[in-house]
A and B are shown apart, each in its own frame.
Chain A
Amino acid sequence: MLTILFDGIAYGMILFVLAVGLSVTLGVMNVINLAHGTFAMVGGYAGVVLVNRWGVPFLAALPLVALVAAAVGLLLERTLYVHVYAKSHLDQVLFTIGLVFVSVSVVSWAAGSQVVFIQLPEFLRTRFTVFGASIGAYRLLIIVICGVLALVLQGVLARTRFGARLRAAVDDPVVARGMGIDVARLFMVMFAVGSGLAGLGGALGAEILGLDPSFPLKFMVYLLIVLTVGGGSSITGPFCAALLLGIADVAGKYYLPSVGAFVIYSVMLAVLLVRPQGLFAPR
């Protein structure tokens, strides 16, 4: 039972890292970005290439993967997304779905449609027994990394000047601009950071979630659910929501395999009915 709890937490952590970048574009910049999963996929496949083909050690590859995904995010943001900020939501939906289709086909053509794995180093493939529960080293690593990231993000947001400027830009972009804060640049940086985090999540999650070209389509839903339940534009909201959903999903599939996949959708629909703005939204 503890193993399932542990697995659920690990799963939830990955969802969090994937979703936090989306909370930036969605909640803050008000752009419906359904293509967020693409950056995760880019990160995942970058991991495959770095670790499997070029022999880069796994732990060293993780920050590199985040950089690659951030770079791709930045590129797309400057060239394509800028055109879409002012457009209607329907246009944004069409645009980002189009991006997903293109990226899925390109990766599929380049790497084939089968599921790929990143070769983990030996020390990450061991398991320990803690309090009678069997725990994998890899999942432990995920929880540690994502937990630290969550703390760092929260710290930056709450305690640094940069974080203060960010919160100002989120609360009221017009006034923030009036005060001399370069809102456009802030948003650009946030987009890149969000994409980088997604890439990291993709690489970390490849082992657990399975990495294949249809990754963006499969997980887009889960990410949107995390955001909808958690409420956009904060760190704690998606964090708690991701954990809740991760545990619910894994536990559901274990104890009630016939109902498994419905748990997540039902939770989301229920939350939307009661609190359409999300469980943890400020208002």
Chain B
Amino acid sequence: MTVGAATAVLARAGRWRWPEVVFWVAAGASWFVLPEQHLLLNEICILGLFTLSLDLVLGFAGIISLGHAAFFGCGAYIAGMLARAGYGDPVLGLVAGGVGAGVLGFATAFLVLRGSDLTRLMVTLSVSLVLFELANRLTFLTGGADGLQGMAVGAVLGRFEFDIFGAVAHAYSLVVLFVLFVAIRWIMASPFGVSVRAVKGNRLRAAAIGIPVNARLVGIYALAALYAGVAGALLAQTTQFVSLDVLAFHRSAEVMLTLVIGGTGMLYGGLVGAILFKVAQDTLSNLTPEYWQFWLGLIFVALVVVGRERVFGWPAALWARVRGR
């Protein structure tokens, strides 16, 4: 294969396919067509963004993380604390939350560079637990167990106030999700993104051809943390409340399941998984959280025992066809 042909293949992967366009048009249309479901759709957008960020870590970099909620919670608290301190502009809170979480991701990235799967699991889990304890203790900053009170979130772009029906929130989250998605799609189709995938495929070989493995891993981890932080900030701003729950273990576990349902390594997997998960949760929402946890656990167990490839082989095949391979 010549260099020119190789470049052409990679460039083709970066172009938009019509099913993707349909997906986003449908997403936008949902705002007009389903006015009763703004609250639910807002939650789907936020979860979709969060799951997308985990995909970067798990699907593209191959790092099993049980503590991704740390970045989600970090972004949420930063945005919340800013709103409480009087800086209520939503976009400012978004940027601050994302950057703050990204910095945290960058700082903890070196911890996941070495060691086995178990070590990385432990490290990511402990980071999120340490953060949980910090938030629990620093009550003057975070409100502790009572949650962050007194958040005054301003109007989006100075004009659209958040309403009780969630219409503005939904639009806001959707736009943010779309913008960030386009960005990450472009990044993953760029040389950086391709090299990250090479690292996941075979670390030794990637290093042998000169790819700076550690730098790539740190880069993708920090990027994922940033995205998770933005998702957290979105949650804080659209619900105007932050509590310790954003850092809880079950968030990390749920986002992992959501990603697995949708499919790893495909970017859209996170979004599809979020839709499936939230709709399922909503229809079962009259059950208590206890029973929900039971079914969630059962799905996990069944999925693994039956075999993920057998259950979810079809989205991967579909995606391959979409990308024209």
**What is the interface of chain A, defined by CB distance below 8 A to chain B?**
26, 32, 80, 83-84, 87, 89-95, 97-106, 108-109, 217, 221, 224-225, 228, 258, 261-262, 265-266, 268-269, 272-273, 276
Q: Is the CB of B301 within 8 A of A98?
A: yes
Residues in A with CB closer than 8 Å to B298 are 98, 102
CB of A25, distance to nearest CB on chain B (Å): 11
- Interface size (B, Cβ < 8 Å)? 39
CB pair B126 A221 closer than 8 Å: yes
Complex Cα spacing A32 to B121, Å = 10
B196 at the interface (CB under 8 A from A): no
For residue B39, CB closer than 8 A to chain A, the reply is: no
B163 within 8 A of A: no
B37 adjacent to chain A (CB < 8 Å) = no
Closest residue to B306 on the A side, CB-wise? A83
| Contact partners of A97 in chain B: CB under 8 A | 253, 256, 297, 300
**Interface residues of B, Cβ cutoff 8 Å to A:** 58, 64, 66, 111, 114-115, 117-119, 121-123, 125-126, 129-130, 133-134, 137, 249, 253, 256-257, 260, 290-291, 293-294, 296-305, 308
Tell me how far the C-beta of A80 lies from the nearest C-beta in chain B, rounded to whole angstroms: 6
Distance to closest chain B CB from A260 (angstroms): 9
Given contacts A94-B257, A94-B260, contact A269 B123 (CB under 8 A): yes
- Contact indicator A102/B301 (Cβ below 8 Å): yes
Q: Are A228 and B305 neighbours in the complex by a CB distance under 8 Å?
A: no
Interface of A is mostly: helix
Q: Is B118 touching A26 in the complex (CB atoms < 8 A)? A: yes
Which residue of chain B is the closest to A93 with respect to CB atoms?
B64
Please report the C-alpha to C-alpha distance between residue A102 and residue B303 in the assembled complex, in whole angstroms: 14
Q: Are B115 and A272 in contact (CB under 8 A)?
A: yes
Closest to B58 in A: A90
A–B complex contacts, Cβ < 8 Å, 12 sampled: A84-B305, A98-B296, A98-B298, A99-B301, A101-B293, A104-B293, A109-B291, A221-B126, A224-B122, A228-B122, A269-B111, A272-B119
Instruction: List 18 other contacts, CB 8 Å, given A109-B290, A221-B125.
Output: A89-B117, A91-B304, A95-B301, A97-B297, A97-B300, A98-B301, A98-B302, A98-B303, A98-B304, A99-B301, A101-B294, A105-B290, A262-B134, A265-B126, A266-B130, A272-B111, A272-B119, A276-B119
The residue in A26, A90, A104 that gathers the most chain B C-beta atoms within 10 A of its C-beta is A90
Nearest Cβ on chain B to A279's Cβ, whole angstroms: 13
Q: Are A105 and B291 in contact (CB under 8 A)?
A: yes
Whether B305 pairs with A80 at a CB distance below 8 angstroms is yes
In the bound complex, CA of A80 to CA of B300 (Å): 12
In the assembled complex, how far is the CB of residue B249 from the closest CB belonging to chain A, in whole angstroms? 7
* B residues less than 8 Å from A266 (CB atoms): 130
Question: Quick one: which of A87, A105, A269 contacts B294, CB cutoff 8 A?
Answer: A105
Q: How far is the CA of A228 from the CA of B305 in the complex (A)?
A: 27
Q: Are A105 and B114 in contact (CB under 8 A)?
A: no
Task: Please name all residues of chain A whose beta carbon is closer than 8 Å to the beta carbon of B115 when the two chains form the complex.
Answer: 272, 276
A224–B117 CB distance below 8 A = no
Q: How far is the CB of B237 from chain A (nearest CB, A)?
A: 29
Contacts of A217 in B (CB 8 A): 249
- Bound-complex Cα distance A282 to B278 (A): 47
Complex contacts, A265 vs chain B, CB 8 Å: 126, 129-130, 133
CB distance from B294 to the nearest CB of A (A): 4
Q: Given the complex of chains A and B, what is the CA–CA distance between A135 and B126 in angstroms?
A: 33
- The answer to whether A98 touches B126, judged by C-beta atoms less than 8 angstroms apart, is no
Least CB separation from B248: chain A residue: A217
Taking the closest CB of chain B, its distance from the CB of A231, in whole angstroms, is: 11
* A258 B137 Cβ-Cβ under 8 A: yes
* Chain B residue with the shortest CB-CB distance to A104: B293
A90 vs B260: C-alpha distance when bound (angstroms): 10
Q: For the complex, give the distance between the alpha carbons of A4 and B133 in Å.
A: 23
Tell me whether B303 and A94 are in contact (CB under 8 A). yes
A43 to B119, CA, bound (A): 28
Q: Check B300–A101 contact: CB distance below 8 A.
A: yes
Which of chain B's residues have a CB closer than 8 A to the CB of A32?
117-118, 121
Report the Cα distance A127→B259, complex, angstroms. Answer: 53
Task: Decide: B111 and A89 in contact? CB cutoff 8 A.
Answer: no
B55 to chain A, nearest CB (A): 13
- Determine whether the beta carbon of B294 is less than 8 Å from that of A102: yes
A90 close to B64 (CB less than 8 A):
yes
A84, B305: Cα distance in complex, Å: 7
The 6 A-B pairs of least Cβ separation, nearest first, read A98-B300, A101-B297, A105-B294, A102-B297, A98-B301, A95-B304
The complex places the Cα of A139 from the Cα of B201 at a distance, in Å, of: 52
The CA of A273 and the CA of B110, in the complex, are separated in Å by 9
Q: Which residues of B contact A221 (CB under 8 A)?
A: 125-126, 129
Which residues from A are CB-within-8-Å of B299?
Answer: 98
**Contact across chains for A80 and B126 when beta carbons are under 8 A apart:** no
| Nearest opposing residue in chain A for B260, CB measure | A94
Contact call B58/A83, Cβ cutoff below 8 A: no
